[in-house]
Structure 1
Amino acid sequence: MPIGSITRGTTGTNRLRRVDRWIAELPAFRRAAEALVVDLGYGASATTTLELHQRLSRVRPGVEVVGLEIDPARVALASLSARPGVRFALGGFEVPLPGGRSATVIRALNVLRQYDESEVLSAWHLMVSRLDPLGVLVEGTCNEVGRVASWVDVTAEGPRTLTVSLRLADLERPSIVAERLPKVLIHRNVPGEGVHAFLRDLDRQWQLNAALSVYGPSQRWIATAQGLAEAGWPVQGGRSRWKLGELTVLWEAVAPQGFAW
């Protein structure tokens, strides 16, 4: 039997475009001999799975994408939209793949949001066990239109980074992402926790660089990322990612108190 609970199934066109763009740049995806990507918990329609394949196939024309859902009715409906390189199947956190194959990337967006925080680690371990040795689990949350998103990338060694991705136009405070943090962090946005300090300093740098708005929000965001790095935060990437409204930090800087892989 599939492992997990049926989600609300909320989905929508372009909702996951930010995380799709990030996955397309992952070294694990680009260097895989045969890229097999799993869209876990795609929801009530095939939309986000089909979009994932469309975006990734621009980088890897032969990529395979498998959409997994634990609701048989959703699988039956989505299967009507199957096409070369895209198929749909019944499955949950156990990530069943034919022939015992392993996944290059597992995308699980807006799946663990409905679970208790205490259930996250076991779900992570189960999904990671279905990855190839260099594979990556990308797990996180976004808002209904995909303009506010965050995710953690997890490997066999444990979580590596936290990424936030925001639509910069008209952004008042980056800490709006607090409402869309991955489940493992969303209840840790309190004094004394790393993610709370990170969001506090992110807001501070955004305000300090407000004058750069005359050059556009991307320039302000780039300066915000640089300011965080100068303040000692382990900011990853560079201007090419920052200008998209992304910011990635190493996991150890935001990991919950007492977290152990």
Structure 2
Amino acid sequence: MENSTQIFGLRAIIEAINSNETIEKVFLQKGLKGDLFNELETLIRKEKVNSSYVPVEKLNRLTNKNHQGAVAQISPIEFHNIEDLVLNVMESGKTPLFVLLDQLSDVRNFGAIIRTAECTGVDGIIIQKKGGAPVNGDTIKTSAGAVFKVPICKVDHIKDAMFYLQASGIKVIAATEKTDNTIYDVSFKEPCAIIMGSEGRGINPSVLKLVDDKAKLPLLGEIESLNVSVACGAILYEALRQRL
């Protein structure tokens, strides 16, 4: 992790959160005690900052500075407001195309999806504040810089985004094997958002219940699934083919 994307030290991280710094994740030392540490924990819970408890060795690998048991990862980009983004796209006269990621965890998959999204004209990518891959150096590298070109929104829960998109007349299509429809049976010509699930679990069942349509990729080999970034690319290019 680059030093330019880090804040270390309890007080420094508290001040960063209170100053509305865009923090991707806070790594906290397991078993640490103390008033200042408790203050940071309380603030993290209050502001719903993504965090995890790790051994001190992990923190020492992140920085050789005096971290005091806490290191924060700072986002290198500014996240967009979903309401503003959707409104701007609708007013532009374009047919909206969005990608929602339901707790995708691998930063390289995330970066690859951003890169393909930029190449296929996606208007924005929507992720959840907690549980997903961060925007870090690996994300930037894998995206080939596309992370600075495609608007990315963070929401408290992916369902919040779905409800807002649907209320705005944008159809939500799930990429899932739990359907008989292939991507060639589904129309991507109207305003739509494609939701991709995490690498291991796929789309959360409670999220899947709320979608407007489902589509799968036909698989002719013995392997039962594709890498999520590859699958997303195939779907986005089918959407582009239909729209050209």
| TM-score, normalising length: structure 2 | 0.31
| TM-score, normalising length: structure 1 | 0.30
Higher Rg: 2
Higher relative contact order (CA 8 A, sep 6+): 2
